[in-house]
Structure 1
Amino acid sequence: MPKIVDHDARRAELVEASWQVIATQGLEGVTMRRVADAAGCTTGRITHYFADREALVLAALRAVNDAAGDRTAQIIKSDLSARDKLMKCLEEGLPLDATRLLEFKVWIAFWSAAASTRQLARENDARHTAWISAMKPLINAVAPNADAEHHAHTLMGLLDGLGLTAAINPTQRNRQNAKRAVHRYVDNMMRADA
């Protein structure tokens, strides 16, 4: 009887192995050999699922964005209050634990590459646009008179900057400062709207 292979699971394993390489070596360090070593497989397995290095790198970016997006979507669907939903969604964009730290390090590598790679820049813009669209209804729910678009853009910049600091030097202090600053921004936004 032939062995049944879960191709989606195999692709996901390879993508996750690429995250490890990206987080430690940067995008310039991503080679098929390094990803194969991280995944504990041959380069042949990688080329079976990805046409080339660029296809693997793009899949890695999309997967890290999807992982964060899926968690955010679950929060939005939850029974939490509007304020708690917004706060938890914002926290998903900060490197507050090992999973989000790994994701943030992947984002840092992609931001660097996106500065000179048009396709990656478009991917980054699409991620930002989707995130802002998801946050605007939450902002409207907690501050109905506020300019939700403006606050969503400001919060995105705040998350990116604070997250960068906390990812580069992932101390408990930096993580707590990032979380506290985001919470303070939202509380001030809500007070100004009252």
Structure 2
Amino acid sequence: MGLIDKFDEFQRNSAELTTKEIFTTLIQANQYVGEVYSISYETALVQINDFHRMQVSGIPSLSFLIATRVNPEEAIDYKIEDASPLLLRVMDAAPLPNAFEAERVRVEAAQRASREDTYTHWDSQDMMDFQTHQLLSYAGVKCKVIGTFFLDQISDSEVEESLVLRFGSDISNYYPNRGLKVFKLTDPIKHNNVFIITS
């Protein structure tokens, strides 16, 4: 292997390490909340389960979420389209397609609970079987699409080339039939000592 090949390999490895470092800050597995099931240039609808909502200590209105196809534990090519996570802002609840049926089941369970003792809740195991409880623990959240994070290669006086995290205030493209994992954004996003955003 020649000197130029070794230098190219070093640059590729350096870019992969920097990319992984940045994305593990943005995307934290323990902050997973759900899946985007509908998206446009302006809004994204996210399906969230009660279990994941509790794991991240809730999802307040106006909080920030990250939607992505990136797995930060794997090698990431920062140049591909999938390496651009979306920044979402929680605006309101959104009904899932089965909302009417889910509400009917809840009302029936509440009616049964009202005939029991005062402290029996309609979501208890006596009122609702486990599988139904699991199915009804999903809810929709409507989010505004704020923009896109992406990595950019720049020249630096100390290092010939390095990667920086940038933010674009729109999205150039979306695919309605491609899943996006959604994570709660909990910490300030910083890279190269530049403050990006906080939740």
Query: Normalization by structure 2: what TM-score?
Result: 0.27
Rg: which structure is higher? 2
The structure where helix makes up a greater share of residues is 1
The structure where strand makes up a greater share of residues is 2
